[in-house]
Structure 1
Amino acid sequence: MNATPSDQRTTGTFAYDDLLPRVPLPTLAASCERFLEWSAPLLTPAERAATAAAVTAFQGSDGPGPVLHAALERYEATEGVRSWLDDFWDSRYLGRRDRIALNANYIFLFADNAAARAAEQPQVERAAGLIAAAVDYKLRLDDERIEPVRQRGQVLSMAQNTYLFSTTRIPGAVQDTVRTPYSEAWPGPSPARHIVVFHRGNIIRLDVVGPDGQPYTLDDLTAGLTAALKAAPTRAPADAAVGQLTTKARAAWAQSRERLSALDPANAAALDTIETALFCLCLEEATPADNLAACDQLLHGDAGNRWFDKAVSLIVFPDGRAGINVEHCGLDGTTILSFVDDLLSTSPQEHSASSGAQPQGLPAVEPVEFVLDADLRADIAEAGASFTDFAAATASTVLSFDDIGQQQAKALRTSPDAFVQLAYQLAHVRAKGHVGATYESIATRQWRRGRTEAMRVVTPQIHQFVAAMQDPAADPATKRAAFRAAADAHVRRAKDCQAGRAPEQHLWELQFIARRQGAELGVREPIALYDSPGWVKTRDDFLSTSSAPSVNVEFFGFGSTSSQCIGVAYVLLPDRFNLYLSTPRAVAGGLYAFAEQLALALRELQDLLADEPPAQ
Structure 2
Amino acid sequence: MAEAHQAVAFQFTVTPDGIDLQFGRDVLRHIWLSGLVACRKRLIRLKSSVLSGVYPASPSTWFAVVAVTLGSLYGKVDPSLGVITRINDILPGQSVLTPISRTVISAVIFSSGVWVSGILVYRQTLRILLSYHGWMFEPHKKTSLKTKIWAGCMKVMSSRQPMLYSFQMSLPKLPVPALEDTVIRYLQSVRPLLDDDKFSEMKILAEEFQKDLGRKLQKYLHLKSWWASNYVSDWWEEYIYLRGRGPIMVNSNYYAMDFLYFTPTTNQAARAGNIIHSMLLYRRKLERGLIPPVRALGIVPMCSNQMVRMFNTTRIPGEETDRLQHLVESRHVCVHHKGRYYRLALYQNGNLLSPSQLQAQIQCILDDPSAPQPGEEKLAALTAGNRVPWAQARSSFFSQGVNRASLSCVERAVFFISLDEEEAGFNEEDKSSLSVYAKALLHGNCYNRWFDKSFTLVVFANGKLGLNAEHSWADAPIIGHLWEFTLATDCFQLGYTEDGNCRGDPALPLPPPYRLLWDIPPKCREVIERSYITAKTLADDVDFNCLRFTDFGKGLIKKCRSSPDAFFQIALQLAHFREKGHFCLTYEASMTRLFRDGRTETVRSCTSQSSDFVKAMEDPSQTKEKRLSLYRAAAENHQLMYRLAMTGKGIDRHLFCLYIVSKYLGTDSPFLQKVLSEPWRLSTSQTPQQQQKLYDLEEFPDHVSAGGGFGPVADDGYGVSYIFAGENLITLHISSKLSSPETNSHRFGQRICQAMRDLAQLLQSPVTPKL
Fold equivalence (TM over 0.5): yes
The within-5 A match list for 1:559-598 is: 559-573=711-725, 574-587=727-740, 589-598=743-752
The reply on whether 1:179 has 2:301 as its aligned counterpart is no
The alpha-carbon deviation at position 443 of structure 1 amounts to 1.9
The alpha-carbon deviation at position 163 of structure 1 amounts to 1.4
The alpha-carbon deviation at position 358 of structure 1 amounts to 9.1
Residues 557-596 of structure 1, C-alpha deviation per residue, up to 9 Å, x if partnerless? 1000011110001111322100111101123654333222
SS of the residue 1:205 aligns to: strand
Is the Cα contact below 8 Å between 1:394 and 1:583 reproduced in 2? yes
Is the Cα contact below 8 Å between 2:261 and 2:704 reproduced in 1? no
Is the Cα contact below 8 Å between 1:453 and 1:505 reproduced in 2? yes
In 2: Cα distance, 1:378 partner to 1:535 partner: 37
Q: What root-mean-square deviation, in Å, do the aligned CA atoms of Structure 1 and Structure 2 show?
A: 2.4
The counterpart of 1:269, out of the listed 390, 397, 405, is 405
The reply on whether 1:602 has 2:756 as its aligned counterpart is yes
The counterpart of 1:341, out of the listed 452, 460, 484, is 484
Could you tell me which amino acid in structure 1 is paired with residue 442 of structure 2? L
In 2: Cα distance, 1:225 partner to 1:438 partner: 44
The counterpart of 2:706, out of the listed 542, 554, 562, is 554
In 1: Cα distance, 2:422 partner to 2:276 partner: 21
The alpha-carbon deviation at position 67 of structure 1 amounts to 2.7
**1:184 maps to what in 2?**
none
SS of the residue 1:132 aligns to: helix
The alpha-carbon deviation at position 305 of structure 1 amounts to 1.1
SS of the residue 1:168 aligns to: strand
Residues 307-357 of structure 1, C-alpha deviation per residue, up to 9 Å, x if partnerless? 10101111111111111111011121111111111111123683599xx99
SS of the residue 1:562 aligns to: coil
Is the Cα contact below 8 Å between 1:200 and 1:304 reproduced in 2? no
The alpha-carbon deviation at position 393 of structure 1 amounts to 1.1
Moved more, 581-590 or 330-339: 581-590
The within-5 A match list for 1:452-471 is: 452-471=600-619
In 2: Cα distance, 1:429 partner to 1:237 partner: 52
The reply on whether 1:448 has 2:596 as its aligned counterpart is yes
The counterpart of 1:165, out of the listed 311, 316, 319, is 311
The reply on whether 1:406 has 2:554 as its aligned counterpart is yes
The within-5 A match list for 1:50-199 is: 50-61=201-212, 63=213, 65-78=214-227, 81-112=229-260, 114-117=262-265, 119=266, 122-153=267-298, 154-181=300-327, 190-199=328-337
Moved more, 558-567 or 568-577: 568-577
Residues 65-111 of structure 1, C-alpha deviation per residue, up to 9 Å, x if partnerless? 23322222222222x63444333332221122211101110001111
The within-5 A match list for 1:275-314 is: 275-288=411-424, 290-314=433-457
Could you tell me which amino acid in structure 2 is paired with residue 20 of structure 1? L
In 2: Cα distance, 1:47 partner to 1:536 partner: 15
Moved more, 157-166 or 587-596: 587-596
Structure 1 352/512 Cα, relative in aligned 2: closer, same or farther at 3 Å? farther
**2:342 maps to what in 1?**
204
In 1: Cα distance, 2:628 partner to 2:492 partner: 51
Is the Cα contact below 8 Å between 1:83 and 1:449 reproduced in 2? no
Is the Cα contact below 8 Å between 2:264 and 2:491 reproduced in 1? no
Moved more, 123-132 or 48-57: 48-57
In 2: Cα distance, 1:292 partner to 1:508 partner: 34
The alpha-carbon deviation at position 491 of structure 1 amounts to 0.8
Could you tell me which amino acid in structure 2 is paired with residue 249 of structure 1? N
**Larger RCO (CA within 8 A; separation ≥ 6):** 1
In 1: Cα distance, 2:442 partner to 2:684 partner: 16
Moved more, 599-608 or 2-11: 2-11
In 2: Cα distance, 1:552 partner to 1:265 partner: 47
The reply on whether 1:325 has 2:472 as its aligned counterpart is no
SS of the residue 1:587 aligns to: coil
Could you tell me which amino acid in structure 1 is paired with residue 411 of structure 2? E
Could you tell me which amino acid in structure 2 is paired with residue 333 of structure 1? A
The reply on whether 1:23 has 2:174 as its aligned counterpart is yes
SS of the residue 1:346 aligns to: helix
**1:248 maps to what in 2?**
385
Structure 1 357/55 Cα, relative in aligned 2: closer, same or farther at 3 Å? farther
In 1: Cα distance, 2:226 partner to 2:508 partner: 52
In 2: Cα distance, 1:344 partner to 1:615 partner: 50
The alpha-carbon deviation at position 476 of structure 1 amounts to 1.6
In 2: Cα distance, 1:349 partner to 1:399 partner: 27
In 2: Cα distance, 1:84 partner to 1:125 partner: 43
The reply on whether 1:504 has 2:664 as its aligned counterpart is no
In 2: Cα distance, 1:444 partner to 1:358 partner: 45
Residues 148-189 of structure 1, C-alpha deviation per residue, up to 9 Å, x if partnerless? 1122222111111111101111112222110014xxxxxxxx
SS of the residue 1:330 aligns to: coil
The alpha-carbon deviation at position 482 of structure 1 amounts to 1.6
In 2: Cα distance, 1:237 partner to 1:576 partner: 47
Could you tell me which amino acid in structure 1 is paired with residue 309 of structure 2? Y
The alpha-carbon deviation at position 11 of structure 1 amounts to 2.8
The alpha-carbon deviation at position 240 of structure 1 amounts to 4.3
Is the Cα contact below 8 Å between 1:83 and 1:448 reproduced in 2? no
In 1: Cα distance, 2:205 partner to 2:293 partner: 44
**2:8 maps to what in 1?**
none
In 2: Cα distance, 1:615 partner to 1:101 partner: 55
Of structures 1 and 2, the larger Rg is shown by 2
Could you tell me which amino acid in structure 2 is paired with residue 283 of structure 1? L
**2:520 maps to what in 1?**
372
Residues 468-527 of structure 1, C-alpha deviation per residue, up to 9 Å, x if partnerless? 000011122222112111111111111111111111111111212233x22xxxx423x2
The alpha-carbon deviation at position 40 of structure 1 amounts to 2.1
In 2: Cα distance, 1:180 partner to 1:232 partner: 34
In 1: Cα distance, 2:263 partner to 2:319 partner: 46
The alpha-carbon deviation at position 611 of structure 1 amounts to 1.0
Is the Cα contact below 8 Å between 2:229 and 2:597 reproduced in 1? no
In 1: Cα distance, 2:471 partner to 2:369 partner: 29
Structure 1 74/492 Cα, relative in aligned 2: closer, same or farther at 3 Å? same
Structure 1 226/502 Cα, relative in aligned 2: closer, same or farther at 3 Å? same
Could you tell me which amino acid in structure 2 is paired with residue 528 of structure 1? P
Could you tell me which amino acid in structure 1 is paired with residue 339 of structure 2? G
Work out the number of aligned pairs and report it.
Answer: 589
The reply on whether 1:529 has 2:671 as its aligned counterpart is yes
In 2: Cα distance, 1:363 partner to 1:487 partner: 60
In 2: Cα distance, 1:514 partner to 1:236 partner: 50
The reply on whether 1:612 has 2:766 as its aligned counterpart is yes
The alpha-carbon deviation at position 191 of structure 1 amounts to 2.0
